[in-house]
Amino acid sequence: MKSLDREHHIYMLEPGATPAITIDSGEELMVET
């Protein structure tokens, strides 16, 4: 399982932005808010 924690800030969502994390189909992701 991959984790995206609150230490990795995302300030804006736009198509050209660098992804914070990438996952493959069927992979689990846990997001801490």
Q: What is the pLDDT of residue 32?
A: 72
List, for residues 1-33, the tens digit of each pLDDT value. 777 777 766 667 788 888 877 888 999 888 777
Region label for 26, one of left (φ > 0), alpha (ψ between -120 and 50) or beta (otherwise) = left
Q: What is the pLDDT of residue 25?
A: 93
CA quadruple 7, 13, 16, 21: dihedral, nearest 10: 40
Q: What is the pLDDT of residue 18?
A: 80
Q: What is the pLDDT of residue 10?
A: 66
Contact 2, 26 (CB under 8 A): no
